[in-house]
Structure 1
Amino acid sequence: MNSLEFTTRTSSNGVVERDFTVGEVTGALWSPAPGSDCAPLVLMGHGGGNHRKSPAMVGRAQRLVAGGGFHVATIDAPGHGGRPRTAHDEREIALMQRTMAAGEPVGPIVQRYNAHLAGRAVPEWRATLDALQELPEIGTGGPVGYFGLNMGTAIGVPLTAIEPRITAAVFGLFWPESLVRAAGQITVPIEFALQWDDEHIPRASGLALFDAFASKDKTLHANAGRHKELPRFEADSAVHFFVRHLGGAATAPA
């Protein structure tokens, strides 16, 4: 098993940020200031074309640490961030770009490529979780959540379906076809975000994925707007969700 190695460390406003590697996987860990041992851990998956420390990921991580007292970990998906692309990655990305430039539906290509990435990323996430739980400030006994939208959902749904350590998850903004089977295996509490006027994912498709989860405790958050117009307050809602289901501080943003 690959061990976790920290490469950088910074601290600001009570949040400690550390970059790390687990084998060839690059990641980042945000934590409360020292003294908050064994706080719950939230894993976060980034969207397609982004990376572990894109502005949205940093903002969500800081909210989760400040509002819930959580540790928050991200890793770069295969072919993202500083990780090299394979020839398959290059072909699929080029095809997506040509399809979007032509104004044609890109959903089938995104689903196929993201399913391919999930097959590579899920084992990496499980190995990363193993390594994170070796840290004394996290440990093996605390609860674990998962937070991922777009490609973060494409990877997070199959991960949550097979990873018993994940006990609550926030998903959203993805098509159902490649995820229905895995969603039907998930029974942990779910919060799901959907954009009512999404130009890429038909409304009925988003609702079908929400319906596919076997969880008895699941909540749909449907907001007006297009695909990239998810309200920022949904990040605060995710903090409240994880505080409810993982424990943590009672200082989640109002």
Structure 2
Amino acid sequence: MRFASGTTSNGVSERLFDIDGIPGVLWSPAEATGGRPLVLLGHGGGQHKKASGLVARARHYVSSCGFAVAALDAPGHGDRPRTEQDERFAAGIRERAAGKPVGSLIADYNTSLAVRAVPEWRAALDSLQGLDDIGTGGPVGFWGVSMGSAIGVPLAVAEPRIIAAVFGLTGREALVEAAARITIPVQFLLQWDDELVPRESGLALFDAFASREKALHANPGRHVGVPAFELESSQRFFVRHLLERESGPV
């Protein structure tokens, strides 16, 4: 892990880093020492590690909970070069822009991204937990919706260090078998009028999770219309499972 630059404001440190050519960013309490919970953030399709919503979420988790928070650019996003496959997907989206359904195209592309991204996230987690202000063995959570879930669901299957996750805005296509292997607590976001993910598909994916504790948060609105109050809800979820897990049943 190589740190490129860092800034601090309002008690939150933000450091850009690189792991074997994979760019990322780490937020943590300024001048923090000792171990702490780590939350991994997966950005949505067409976004990047420092999308405004992701930065706001990260800073909120750090300042309100004392978590460390990390995000990576997904393959073909942010500061990473696009492959021929990435270019074909972008061309396909443009071709379907005239009212044709894009859900199946997005699902297939996200599946291919997950194959590349899951090993990258696991390597990043190894490096992040080697830092003094995070530490090895601490609790890890994952938050990611839409493309973030397409990567996060198989990541949670492969990575036992993740003990709680917020997913959503995605359907059962290519994810239902992986979801059936997930038993950690899950909070799932669903937009009732999602134009990209059919309601029935999202509900089927939620149903597939084998978790004893799982909560469906369904709100009216389209794909990008998740209410702002869901930020506080996810914070309470992570506090319960990453901070309070040692104090008794959750």
Calculate the TM-score normalised by the size of structure 2.
0.96
Q: Give the CA deviation at 1:137.
A: 1.0
Out of 46, 51, 63, the residue aligned to residue 49 of structure 1 is 46
Distance 2:173 2:20 in 1: 32
Instruction: Report deviation, 1:136.
Output: 1.1
What secondary structure does 1:78 align onto?
coil
What whole-Å deviation, never above 9, does each CA across 1:137-161 have from its counterpart, x for those lacking one? 1111210000001100000000001
- Alignment match of 1:181 (pick from 170, 177, 183): 177
- The correspondence for 2:198, drawn from 191, 202, 210, is 202
Residue 156 of structure 1 is aligned with which of 152, 155, 159?
152
1:190 match: 186
Equivalent of residue 172 in structure 1, options 148, 156, 168: 168
Q: What corresponds to 2:66 in structure 1?
A: 69
For 1:25 and 1:35, how far apart are their aligned partners in 2? 24
What is the rounded CA distance, in whole Å, between the counterparts of 2:80 and 2:197 in structure 1?
28
Contact 1:107 1:175 in 2 (8 A): no
For the pair 1:40 / 2:37, whether they are aligned, the reply is yes
Which structure ranks higher in relative contact order (CA pairs < 8 Å, sequence separation ≥ 6)? 1
Whether contact under 8 Å (2:33, 2:132) holds in the other structure is no
Match status 1:245 vs 2:241: yes
Between the aligned partners of 2:223 and 2:209, the Cα distance in structure 1 is 21
Describe how 1:55-94 pairs up with structure 2 within 5 A: 55-94=52-91
Q: Unaligned regions of 5+ residues in structure 1, if any?
A: 249-254
Deviation at residue 35 of structure 1 after TM alignment: 3.4
Distance 1:141 1:17 in 2: 22
**2:219 corresponds to:** 223
Report whether the alignment pairs 1:135 with 2:141: no
1:92 Cα deviation after fit: 1.1
- State the TM-score, normalizing by the size of structure 1: 0.94
Aligned counterpart in structure 1 of residue 209 of structure 2, from 194, 210, 213: 213
1:98: Cα distance to partner? 1.4
Structure 1 distance, partners of 2:139, 2:123, is 17
Counting aligned pairs with the same residue, the percent is 59
C-alpha distance in structure 2 between counterparts of 1:144 and 1:154, whole Å: 18
Please give the alpha-carbon distance, in whole angstroms, between the structure 2 residues aligned to 1:12 and 1:236: 21
Structure 2 residue 27 is the aligned partner of structure 1 residue 30: yes
After TM superposition, which residue ranges in structure 1, 4 or more long, deviate above 2 angstroms?
none
CA displacement 1:170-215 (0-9 Å, x = unmatched): 0000121110011011000000000011122111111111001000
Question: Is 1:8 equivalent to 2:5 in the alignment?
Answer: yes
